[in-house]
Chain A
Amino acid sequence: MTERREYSALVERHFAAPRNVGRFEPAFDVLVARSGRVDQGIEVVLSARIEAERIAALRHLVYGCPHSIAAASWLTERLVGATLDELAQWRWREAATALDVPPEKWGRLLAIEDAVRGLERAWRERASSRARTA
């Protein structure tokens, strides 16, 4: 390309081969959250399969810049094994540091954090729904 932004090695690796692409089929133990819009430069869908009150696996679909693609991919490995409390504590700055994301792209990471918050809400709703039916 005529211009080329600098990307960290981790961004380059995840961009070239994104991990855990796709989504789980709807089920009781599957949580889904979506955030962003194409005209905002990022749209992301996260789906998580819960087993024994921990995230057993994550899948993602993402439209966005190389940093967004890499961050969504990286997150699907980072959050495996997380409890609801651990998920609730996750913030975008961890991805910014790990992937060396420049400040002008931090807004894209906020969209990814929004999707994580969506998973958290879905998890809490699932928990309260299960409590009601118990």
Chain B
Amino acid sequence: MNAPLPIYLDYAATTPIDPRVAEAMIECLREPELQGNPSSMGHEYGRRARARVEQARAQVAAAVNGRPECIVWTSGATESNNLALLGVARFHADRGKHIVSSKTEHKAVLDALKQLESEGFFVTYLKPGADGIVAPEQVSEALRDDTQLVSLMHVNNEIGIIQDVGAIGRICRERGILFHVDAAQSMGKVGIDVQAMCVDLLSLTAHKSYGPKGVGALYVRRNPPVGLRPLIFGGGQELGLRSGTLPTHQIVGMGLACEIAEREREADVARICALRERLWTGISKLGRVELNGHRTQRVCGVLNVSFHGVEGESLKFALTDLAVSSGSACASASDAPSYVLRALGRSDQLAQSSLRFSLGRFTTEAEIDAAIAAVTREVERLRAIAPATSPAK
């Protein structure tokens, strides 16, 4: 018999697929009329598949207040980030080779920037405050005459804080500098408005908002055009920006997931916020715990907590009842302390003794209460066997 599954509190790593989204995807996989190549406009199969793809494009565009023709399908946020950064930097290399970003970006941004540095670009990595926030003034001060691009994430995947991308976008627009936002964690949690936020490029993914894995999108402002060099060459799909046969079922799933996320955002946020507060209240009763990131400028579903007096690996091993993360799922294969928490000034030891609880649409009050009980039991047990005079105790 299979062991019971742990309580899932890792929504920031990926979300389960909403059953409504799954149904729409299954329809695409089941119905012969939807199984044409969306680029085969010469027959009805292709045209029907294309109609679904364009409907999804409109759904995604509406969720970010953009125009459908600005949406480019990709395989996910990693590809979107790579396309935005490498594509813009290489296209505009003659305008300048300076880029501004931050130390707490996702690896999909940091590693793409590292690649650009190896190609001769210069990157300024802003250090956020202890609360994880990058102040707009920091961006202003970092801009140079040869700055061609600023790239910042909207919502941090490890600590859940929300950057003021609107204020930063306006600074960039005034200076004529392109602004890219990694919004992989934003959809359905915080409003996205590419017009009001003066965003030129915006990375999105489906699987963080109850859609399928393996599909994402890059919003690329078209008027005036941004200028982007593609990374993938072939059939010239997506106006030549991203070649490859479009996966109709994945795209339909992403479109519906974004529509639902935006339509139900207010209700989801209110409910999940209450659960997160319940979790924090319960955990903080342990004492000697610290919330990582800004207290209020944060999304509803993420709670990153450092536990004094317990060693990180033991804490994680003890909590077999919970599916939680010690940092980004994309980087947690190593035991190294989170670079995000280190950038916030946490010690190696405390960064390593930190857990990210992330809640979502299907989290229940009973699961939160069970999580509080498990964390309380194991932290108290591990603290009880630690030396009493230990500075961490």
Contacts and interface: CB of A to CB of B under 8 A. Distances in A.
A61 B385 contact: yes
Contact of B386 (A3, A39, A63): A63
Given A2-B325, A44-B387, A61-B386, A38 B349 contact: yes
A62 B392 CA distance: 12
Given A1-B325, A2-B326, A39-B347, A66 B313 contact: yes
Interface in B373-390: 384-388, 390
Of the four ranges (under 10, 10 to 19, 20 to 34, 35 or more), the interface on chain B belongs to 20 to 34
B314 A15 contact: yes
B311 A2 contact: no
B195 to A, nearest CB: 36
A1 B317 contact: yes
Interface in B294-312: 309-311
B239 interface: no
A63 B392 contact: yes
Nearest to A42: B311
Nearest to B392: A38
Contact of B314 (A2, A3, A43, A69): A69
A3 B329 CA distance: 8
Interface in B311-331: 311, 313-314, 316-319, 323-326, 329
Contacts of A41: 311, 349
Interface residues of A, number: 25
Given A2-B332, A38-B392, A39-B349, A66 B317 contact: yes
A7 interface: yes
A65 B332 contact: no
Interface string A1-41: 11111010000000100100100000000000010001101
Contacts of A42: 311
B366 interface: no
B311 to A, nearest CB: 5
Nearest to A38: B392
Contacts, number: 70
A118 interface: no
Interface of B is mostly: loop
Contacts of A101: none
A44 B326 CA distance: 25
Contacts of A15: 314, 317-318
Given A15-B317, A63-B392, A43 B326 contact: no
Interface of A is mostly: mixed
Contacts of B314: 15, 64-66, 69
Interface in A67-96: 68-69
B393 interface: yes
A26 B13 CA distance: 50
B54 interface: no
A99 interface: no
Contacts of B325: 1-2
B66 to A, nearest CB: 33
A31 B390 CA distance: 19
B333 interface: yes
B10 interface: yes
Interface of B: 10, 13, 309-311, 313-314, 316-319, 323-326, 329, 332-333, 347-349, 384-388, 390-393
30 contacts: A1-B319, A1-B324, A1-B325, A2-B13, A2-B325, A3-B326, A3-B332, A3-B333, A5-B313, A5-B317, A15-B318, A21-B385, A34-B387, A38-B349, A38-B390, A38-B391, A39-B348, A44-B387, A45-B387, A61-B385, A61-B386, A61-B388, A62-B387, A63-B309, A63-B386, A63-B390, A63-B392, A63-B393, A66-B317, A68-B311
Sort A-B residue pairs by CB-CB distance and give the 10 closest, nearest first: A63-B386, A38-B392, A65-B313, A61-B387, A1-B316, A2-B325, A45-B387, A2-B332, A66-B317, A21-B385
Given A2-B13, A39-B349, A61-B386, 7 more contacts: A1-B316, A2-B324, A21-B385, A38-B392, A43-B390, A61-B385, A69-B314
